[in-house]
């Protein structure tokens, strides 16, 4: 069993493709059931954010796994298989582990150092666990990746090395405001995590802001976000979604981050715009129809323009520190997996040794029935001590040597030397352990389209 990653991200696809393949959290269990139900995939997790859709899976065979996951994703999202194939990438075995760790450490994010990805990976793991598609393979790699991502945030300066996506977006918005933020009226649609980040950023950068009006699917959420803005010194009120279109003409800036299924605003909704408005759409799929960008007096900032914008100023020293941390953690994880590959053989060997000891002690009891309980206990302890000492060096060394990549050879040597039956090892192994590599040859994770 090996790790496979298939995905589409801001690095390989334009926003027009990304918003077709995004999978909302409530729909993920259905997709997971489709992926895990075909027999080609043993475990699966779906990571869907505004910048990527990825399937992390444990598979027996590379080509069958890629074909099945690609077909399941295309059928679920309605995206054409040809379009999906053109923009997707695949990582397998060790390269897949490297990619998962890099994603959790935000090295593959649109904004390197952003902290949201850790929560998104945790949420994806929780959803897959609830759906019953996480086993020992995914559990191990995801938990270690999360620990690595957390270490990247706490042990390096990458979290402060570059601006956040929200900060970059508001920088682009400010460039379209002739008078700056002073006196500007801002509408915020969406009271989730992104909406809270927008409010936090505005409190820092725009103390002279005119007014903030918050909108959400529920009035309670809109009021909560308005109260957060007000507590930071901004003038803020909560509006009703039914009033949004009517109020558009009063806004200098409209920030949307509702993450709605379907379009919230279309070109006709902006018909009454007077002096102009800057629309900042941070959702994928987009909350605002792309045609709005063609209207006179409307400027649009979205995740596509962020991706196409100038390269972020990132502290290269901080970036190198995270890359070194990820490389170290990936190496440690892979070595651990190699060592784990011989555990079934070592366990079977110790079980066989226990059986031999039990047989010999029983034979001794029949030959020396006069031994009292204390004497029998001392003999048992001595025999077990001898066996443990004899087995300690070979079982310890085989784990150490397995870390060098030849675990299978050493495990086979142990089986031959001690006459372990294949069935005894299989019984310990169960359904098989997750291995970082794969038996079937495959492109080691090149970020190229799958042809």
Residue pLDDT, tens place only, 193-218: 889 999 999 999 988 899 999 999 99
Given a cut of 60, whether residue 305 has pLDDT beyond it is yes
* Range 165-296: architecture per CATH: 3-Layer(aba) Sandwich (3.40)
50 catalytic residue (yes or no): yes
Average pLDDT score over residue span 209-237: 94
Measured CA distances, 48 to 53, 127, 129, 325 (Å) = 4, 11, 16, 25
Q: DSSP of 176-222, one letter per residue?
A: T-TT-SBT-EEEEE--SHHHHHHHHHHHHH-TTB-EEEEE-SSHHHH
Question: In this predicted structure, what is the pLDDT of residue 14?
Answer: 86
Average pLDDT score over residue span 340-353: 83
Question: In this predicted structure, what is the pLDDT of residue 312?
Answer: 52
Residue 406 binned pLDDT confidence (cut-offs 50, 70, 90): low
Residue 316 binned pLDDT confidence (cut-offs 50, 70, 90): confident
Say if residue 280 carries a ligand binding annotation. Answer: no
**Set 50, 88, 257, 280: catalytic member:** 50
Say if residue 42 carries a ligand binding annotation. Answer: no
- What is the C-alpha to C-alpha distance for residues 277 and 27, in angstroms, rounded to an integer? 34
Say if residue 50 carries a ligand binding annotation. Answer: yes
Question: In this predicted structure, what is the pLDDT of residue 315?
Answer: 67
Residue 160 binned pLDDT confidence (cut-offs 50, 70, 90): low
Low-confidence winner among 236-250, 275-289, 336-350 (lowest mean pLDDT): 336-350
Given a cut of 70, whether residue 242 has pLDDT beyond it is yes
Say if residue 143 carries a ligand binding annotation. Answer: no
Given a cut of 90, whether residue 72 has pLDDT beyond it is yes
Residue 26 binned pLDDT confidence (cut-offs 50, 70, 90): confident
Low-confidence winner among 168-182, 333-347, 412-426 (lowest mean pLDDT): 412-426
Given a cut of 90, whether residue 343 has pLDDT beyond it is no
Cis peptide before 285 (omega within 30 of 0): yes
Say if residue 273 carries a ligand binding annotation. Answer: no
Say if residue 249 carries a ligand binding annotation. Answer: no
> What are the residue ranges spanned by the domains of the chain?
2-155, 165-296, 345-421
pTM: 0.71
Torsion of CA 109, 193, 196, 293, to 10 degrees: 60
Given a cut of 80, whether residue 432 has pLDDT beyond it is no
Residue 388: CA atoms inside 13 Å, Cβ hemisphere, count?
Answer: 6
Say if residue 72 carries a ligand binding annotation. Answer: no
Question: In this predicted structure, what is the pLDDT of residue 15?
Answer: 85
Given a cut of 90, whether residue 170 has pLDDT beyond it is yes
Q: Would you say 172 and 111 are in contact if contact means Cβ atoms under 8 Å apart?
A: no
pLDDT tens-digit readout, 350-387: 888 898 999 999 999 889 888 898 998 999 999 999 99
Low-confidence winner among 4-8, 15-19, 446-450 (lowest mean pLDDT): 446-450
Say if residue 117 carries a ligand binding annotation. Answer: no
* Range 2-155: architecture per CATH: 2-Layer Sandwich (3.30)
Question: In this predicted structure, what is the pLDDT of residue 411?
Answer: 75
Low-confidence winner among 134-143, 352-361, 376-385, 417-426 (lowest mean pLDDT): 417-426
Measured CA distances, 259 to 54, 242, 379 (Å) = 18, 17, 71
Say if residue 52 carries a ligand binding annotation. Answer: yes
Say if residue 316 carries a ligand binding annotation. Answer: no
Say if residue 311 carries a ligand binding annotation. Answer: no
Helix (H) or strand (E) holding 71, with range, is helix 62-77
Given a cut of 60, whether residue 283 has pLDDT beyond it is yes
């Amino acid at each position: 069993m090996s790790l496979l990653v298939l995905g589409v991200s801001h690095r390989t696809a334009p926003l027009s493709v990304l918003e077709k393949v995004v999978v909302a959290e409530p729909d993920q269990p259905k997709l997971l059931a489709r992926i895990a139900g075909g027999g080609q995939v043993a475990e699966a997790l779906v990571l869907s954010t505004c910048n990527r859709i990825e399937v992390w899976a444990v598979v027996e065979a590379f080509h069958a796994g890629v074909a099945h996951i690609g077909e399941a994703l295309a059928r679920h999202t309605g995206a054409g298989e040809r379009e999906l194939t053109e923009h997707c990438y695949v990582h397998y075995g060790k390269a897949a582990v490297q990619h998962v760790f890099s994603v959790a450490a935000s090295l593959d994010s649109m904004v390197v150092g952003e902290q949201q990805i850790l929560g998104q990976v945790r949420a994806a793991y929780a959803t897959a666990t609830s759906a019953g598609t996480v086993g020992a393979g995914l559990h191990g790699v995801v938990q270690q990746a999360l620990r690595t991502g957390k270490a990247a945030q706490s042990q390096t300066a990458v979290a402060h090395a570059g601006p956040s996506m929200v900060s970059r977006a508001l920088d682009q918005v400010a460039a379209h405001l002739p008078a700056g933020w002073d006196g500007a009226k801002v509408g915020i649609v969406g009271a989730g995590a992104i909406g809270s980040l927008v409010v936090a950023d505005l409190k820092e950068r725009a103390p002279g802001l005119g007014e903030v009006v918050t909108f959400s699917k529920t009035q309670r959420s809109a009021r909560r976000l308005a109260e957060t803005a007000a507590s930071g010194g901004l003038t803020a009120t909560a509006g009703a979604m039914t009033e949004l279109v009517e109020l558009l003409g009063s806004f200098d800036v409209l920030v949307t981050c509702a993450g709605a299924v379907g379009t919230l605003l279309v070109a006709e909704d902006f018909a009454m715009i007077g002096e102009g408005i800057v629309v900042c759409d941070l959702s994928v799929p987009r909350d605002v129809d792309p045609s709005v960008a063609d209207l006179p007096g409307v400027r649009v900032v979205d995740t596509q323009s962020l991706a196409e914008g100038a390269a972020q100023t990132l502290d290269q020293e901080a970036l190198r520190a995270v890359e070194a941390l990820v490389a170290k953690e990936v190496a440690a994880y892979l070595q651990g997996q190699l060592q784990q590959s011989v555990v079934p053989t070592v366990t079977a060997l110790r079980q066989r040794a226990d059986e031999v000891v039990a047989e010999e002690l029983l034979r001794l009891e029949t030959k020396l029935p006069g031994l009292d309980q204390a004497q029998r206990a001392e003999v048992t302890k001595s025999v077990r001590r001898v066996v443990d000492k004899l087995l300690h060096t070979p079982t310890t060394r085989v784990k150490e040597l397995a870390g060098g990549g030849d675990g299978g050879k050493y495990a086979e040597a142990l089986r031959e030397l001690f006459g372990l039956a294949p069935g005894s090892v299989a019984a310990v192994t169960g359904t098989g352990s997750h291995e970082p590599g794969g038996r079937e040859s495959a492109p080691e994770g090149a970020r190229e389209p799958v042809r």
